Structure 1
């Protein structure tokens, strides 16, 4: 009788069953003949497009084994695995058996791939229950998804390029990359002592009035973006100048500029896009006599991370760089606020883990709701702004709290809005340029997010003993629609003066 049962158990492998929860060397997984070959990149994009068309979203956790394996295979065979005892078990320090689980997962991969650990494991995250590995076989994907310890299994280097992938990467006017400089219209700023330009949008949110009570002193803002320009001394050697004093700026790099996932050398903290420089400027540029735009929290400290090459987080090293920046800022006790004006329309497990990690360390996290020209209404709020741990911000037109800027995303996940597009001229927000002694305009939900992070610094500086939740509550209470959120614009425009009182 026992022999018959064992025989039946072996036969059941044909229909993807196993004798026990343990995988063994005799396990077999049968792939449908029609799915033995990988889909092409265009075919994968088409599958993702179909999901957007029918559900308005796409998540790798909902993809079929064949689509998931194909995307991993087409993305240099690199997979990202989040593991843990539960779906919420992301913090390695809080998982006593994290190494046991990790080894079990690696053993599954070794068994099905037939390779040594050195040919499989790319990196094991120090702080998160997350690893990056090389996977070639679809059978490995199926075996891994059977494990109760898998929180997510995603392609780590597949860049979606379908019809809905149009987040702006290049135009500075749309908050993407660019080194342009532009002479500011005299109607777009007010000169304040000692000879700085306060952008028009600051007055729409009562920021100059709030300066009489708080300028951000003692608060550190972390900005995750494309870095800061080495050619802009106001974000360097002249960061302490004029009415901005007794503060510091630190610059780090977590982005690796390489097509090879196993490369580890970063290309440093310097901005090679322009976007990060603009975000740092609007948040905390000094107030001095150089005749250039001042930042919202002009006495706050600043820590900037070059975590990606541009604003769309669609490559292995960009996603890794952002994850590492979040964990680093999470572990930095001096940081109160994190601002990131980048994202994607598809969620990324490792970035999600990084955001949650920083949030659990008490950080107040602001993320851009999204900026694009082709599918704003269709997509709504982008990742990671849609996460509950993030405060989502978007831009609206001058004098309004419910008319989005021409390129801004809106939706139910938005928490705050910032007026950043002029009604008559269409001009956006004045900022310091990539180069010394030059200015520029920057727009979209990006500048709205960095502006909001600066306001949060004003509030926290005015109330240094407050918690993150107290700061956020006061900001909500100062906003247009409090206490009832607008369906697409959240709490609306923040009144900085009311928020710091």
Structure 2
């Protein structure tokens, strides 16, 4: 069974180039580029004036990649083939390389022809792809640990994992590889899967991995996008035009639905940010993506993270331009080796505002400086009380006690600390198209 066919359930529901174009002639340059609606939605022209992902290597753990494709030539490194156990992974052909080629083109395609106007273009067109070919799962679950370690050792700053390995729990070797990647400041991005179920998939559900679901052109969740409390972000994953290694009526191109494609867009956005903000950690890059994400209009006011939308759909231009505090080095992830089932340092509650951008509200406890200030004030008040008592007693020794004794009713007023605001409670949003249980509200940063 080919890697593409296997990943239809987990990484990409391929529409075999015929979803909208079955009877079309070979696509014109204008048509091909206009088919890439995410680039228009993201305002890619403005993005590329700021960052193109130059200098960033994105590892694609997938099927082999057709590095000779006209839209990818020069942007694909040799990589390694963990299917055969040796040899490069940039020389894939035919059906066995279709899925990996598609993911590579969404990330780093540069088009071809005059000005790169023909073919497809990736969101980070100057980034480099490190193809790391992994088994297709036809022989059962596979261990991706060695492939992930290889990607890290080759200098990848982002790892795209548009697959599920068929297991519901991670192996010790895989967990160690994930920790290894995070200790080397590598951002791991994985697809949630395409069955429309809440069953966690590996590697997406592993703490420390950025799990991505799929939305359509209107920002509405795709009905087959898997969900759950581990979902962090969504991105375009419906009617996605990309390069391929199988020739159809449009040439070597394809159209697909799936969380594979949405994961590739998040990896590309991460590459743009890593090029623009080289001093930010992988966790801080994820944090910037999360804090600039948005929800569709009918989901405004939804308590976040939502089990379908996570913190919302990525806005790469906002992530590149908005003033977002760096935050902790781990960002929305638990500390390396924490082993928790969910983030321990997620951004606190987030809600969509009228503009569709997320407003992150922070709910922190009393800070150490504030507690010290409270203690100082209490001590000062106690000293004042003692002085007053001593003065009154001295006076009473001279003049005798006043009627009724000292102080009368009541007494010195108590110290009232600064009144904290109660945790921000968000109103439930309008019912979505896809029923869900109560979303998980993370603790504050």
- 2:258 aligned with 1:439, yes or no? no
Q: Which runs of 5+ in 1 are unaligned?
A: 1-166, 240-246, 257-263, 422-427
Deviation string 1:276-301 (CA, Å, 9 cap, x unpaired) is 11111111111432621111100011
The whole-number CA distance in structure 2 between the counterparts of 1:208 and 1:196 is 13
- TM-fit CA distance, 1:227: 1.3
RMSD: 3.4
The whole-number CA distance in structure 1 between the counterparts of 2:62 and 2:202 is 15
**Residues 220 and 488 (structure 1), Cα distance of their counterparts in 2 relative to 1, 3 Å cut:** same
- TM-fit CA distance, 1:485: 2.0
Please identify the structure whose Cα radius of gyration is greater: 2
- 2:152 aligned with 1:338, yes or no? no
- 2:51 aligned with 1:221, yes or no? no
1:253 matched to which residue of 2?
A: 81
Is the contact made by 1:174 and 1:443 (CA closer than 8 Å) also made in structure 2? no
The whole-number CA distance in structure 1 between the counterparts of 2:192 and 2:136 is 19
- TM-fit CA distance, 1:190: 11
1:305 matched to which residue of 2?
A: 132
The whole-number CA distance in structure 1 between the counterparts of 2:184 and 2:139 is 24
The whole-number CA distance in structure 2 between the counterparts of 1:213 and 1:176 is 32
- 2:206 aligned with 1:387, yes or no? yes
**Residues 288 and 492 (structure 1), Cα distance of their counterparts in 2 relative to 1, 3 Å cut:** same
Where does 1:83-98 land on structure 2 (aligned, <5 Å)?
none
- 2:203 aligned with 1:203, yes or no? no
* Higher share of residues assigned helix: 1
The whole-number CA distance in structure 2 between the counterparts of 1:313 and 1:357 is 27
The whole-number CA distance in structure 1 between the counterparts of 2:111 and 2:284 is 28
Aligned with 2:255: secondary structure? strand
2:309 matched to which residue of 1?
A: 489
Is the contact made by 1:345 and 1:382 (CA closer than 8 Å) also made in structure 2? yes
The whole-number CA distance in structure 2 between the counterparts of 1:228 and 1:172 is 20
- 2:190 aligned with 1:371, yes or no? no
**Residues 447 and 463 (structure 1), Cα distance of their counterparts in 2 relative to 1, 3 Å cut:** same
1:467 matched to which residue of 2?
A: 281
**Residues 308 and 177 (structure 1), Cα distance of their counterparts in 2 relative to 1, 3 Å cut:** farther
Aligned length: 298
**Residues 480 and 232 (structure 1), Cα distance of their counterparts in 2 relative to 1, 3 Å cut:** same
Q: Which runs of 5+ in 2 are unaligned?
A: 296-301, 322-445
Is the contact made by 2:28 and 2:118 (CA closer than 8 Å) also made in structure 1? no
Aligned with 1:250: secondary structure? coil
The whole-number CA distance in structure 1 between the counterparts of 2:15 and 2:64 is 13
TM-score after normalising by structure 2:
0.59
- 1:275 aligned to 77, 99, 124, which one? 99
